[in-house]
Amino acid sequence: MKFQISNFKFQIIFLFISSFFLFLVDNAHAMHISEGILPFNWALFWSVIAVPFVAWGLYKLKKLSAIDLSFKPLVGLMAAVVFIISCMPIPVPTAGTCSHPCGTGISGILVGPAISILITAVALLIQALFLAHGGLTTWGADIVSMGVMGSFAGYLTFKALRSITPLIPPFNKGGSGGLAVSGFMAGLFADWATYFTTSVELASGIKGDSEFMPLFWKILIAFIPTQLPLGILEGAMTAGMVVLLYKKRPDLLVKMRVLKAEEAAI
């Protein structure tokens, strides 16, 4: 079966309108792939990809909780925070609607990608079981897009920018400016990486006999009105959170190895 393009202009307009309606639902969770949307082979494929990452998270958890007994409760509470954040609708000005942030950028920054993947897996499982956001059959795919890609994108962007910003004026004078920029970009890329991966997963799952690339582009375009600005808003939110922690509890950022002790002295 070939993908048929009857009128490109119409398709673009339709995709924008359909994405608008998709996010118009007050509590739309478009970053989660819905239960049952992926056929068996793709659901299994993404689950197999996700398993080693979750196992890595559990390995790290075991190691860290052996040193510090409060680590397991902390990871549990962080999972509750990610659950709440990824249920909160936030405004998307260009679409005039709301979507939800991922929260994996901030967890990636604070606890590292391995634990952040575990946190996302836990939050996603509770949402799948009780809220019909995501699903058991799409749990693996959602872990890969939100947990693996979101956490790694957030963590690596933050680390890279934290090593560069002290060299660039005006951030080389100290203060929270460099932290805010790094946090913003980490949130932005965590969100966009999730959205990109979700598009890949959806296109491969629902393409049927059609070609992959045309459908992938259509899904990517359909996400644009909400996800591009949402990424910017998630960036702003992540920057706000990092700066708040820096001002209120810099010792926590030092404990989580986000800051060095000398940087935490305000």
Q: Which residues contact 76 (CB under 8 A, 6 or more apart)?
A: 122
Q: Phi first, then psi: give them for residue 56, nearest 5 degrees.
A: -60, -45
The piece of 14-22, 45-53, 145-153, 158-166 that touches another protein (CB under 8 A) is 14-22
Classify residue 126 by burial, with Cβ atoms within 10 Å: 0-12, 13-18, 19+: middle
The residue within the footprint of another protein, chosen from 48, 51, 77, 213 (CB under 8 A), is 77
- Minimum separation from the CB atom of position 1 to another protein (A): 6
Determine if 89 is a binding residue for another protein (CB under 8 A).
yes
- Kindly provide the b/e burial profile for residues 52-65, where b requires at least 16 CB atoms within 10 angstroms of the residue's own CB: ebbebbeebbeebe
Binding mask 122-161 vs another protein (x if CB under 8 A, - otherwise)?
A: xx-xx-xxxxxx-xxx------------------------
The residue within the footprint of another protein, chosen from 31, 47, 53, 79 (CB under 8 A), is 79
Q: Which of 124, 27, 112, 15 is nearest to 71 (CA)?
A: 112
Determine if 40 is a binding residue for another protein (CB under 8 A).
yes
Determine how many CB atoms are found less than 10 A away from the CB of residue 22: 17
Given the complex with another protein, which of 156 and 256 has the nearer CB atom?
A: 256
CA dist list (Å): 39 to 1, 28, 160, 167: 18, 22, 38, 49
The residue within the footprint of another protein, chosen from 31, 50, 75, 117 (CB under 8 A), is 75
The piece of 56-64, 142-150, 153-161, 190-198 that touches another protein (CB under 8 A) is 56-64
Given the complex with another protein, which of 67 and 167 has the nearer CB atom?
A: 67
Determine if 110 is a binding residue for another protein (CB under 8 A).
yes
The structure tokens listed for 167 are 């060299």
Q: Which residues contact 242 (CB under 8 A, 6 or more apart)?
A: 106, 109, 179, 180, 182, 183, 253, 258
The residue within the footprint of another protein, chosen from 49, 156, 210, 221 (CB under 8 A), is 210
The piece of 154-162, 164-172, 192-200, 207-215 that touches another protein (CB under 8 A) is 207-215
- Minimum separation from the CB atom of position 72 to another protein (A): 6
